[in-house]
Amino acid sequence: MKLELGQLVTAQIRQPRSVRFFRLAHKIGALVRQNIEGFEHMSDHDVIKRLQYETGVECKMMQMRVPGAGLVDVRIPRSLRFDEMEEARFHDLMTAICRHLSAEYWPECSPEQIERMAEAMIDDS
């Protein structure tokens, strides 16, 4: 992009999300993929997107016309990209996913235990 003197430009200033927390999210995806039946053939990211869909957190609701059924409510997960979702919303989503995992898949684990298991998988090197 070439700028000329006197041209008007705009910029957005955003606080970057925590890279470590983003890694934690993908480690939760890996933990689920490696330990819960039905997720084993998915990427870590796709696991997180499916869990996002299952929780309904950070999903947009749309109505779609389905032949034979009429209008049906459909959840569409929002983007997790750094420039699309701010840190607080991303944190709320990951908290909801850990709660969902505890309630639906691992009732023997608390949401905090699930997060700690994923944290143990992070390699900071």
- pTM of the shown model: 0.78
| pLDDT greater than 90 at residue 121 | no
- Report the alpha-carbon distance of residue 122 to residue 91 in Å, rounded: 17
Q: Which tokens sit at 113?
A: 């235990």
Find all residues with CB under 8 Å of 125, minimum gap 6, and list them: none
Q: Which tokens sit at 13?
A: 């200033």
Four-residue CA torsion sign, 57, 62, 65, 71: positive
The predicted structure's pLDDT at residue 125:
46
Domain assignment of residue 113, yes or no: yes
Q: Per residue in 39-96, pLDDT tens? A: 999 999 999 999 999 999 999 999 999 999 899 999 999 988 877 788 888 889 999 9
Q: Which structural domain, as residue segments, surrounds residue 67?
A: 19-119
Domain assignment of residue 92, yes or no: yes
Domain assignment of residue 5, yes or no: no
Domain assignment of residue 87, yes or no: yes
Split into its structural domains, the chain has a count of: 1
Q: Which tokens sit at 85?
A: 């979702």
| pLDDT greater than 80 at residue 12 | no
Domain assignment of residue 12, yes or no: no
Domain assignment of residue 4, yes or no: no
Choose the weakest-confidence range: 19-33, 56-70, 90-104.
19-33
Domain assignment of residue 2, yes or no: no
Domain assignment of residue 13, yes or no: no
The predicted structure's pLDDT at residue 124:
58
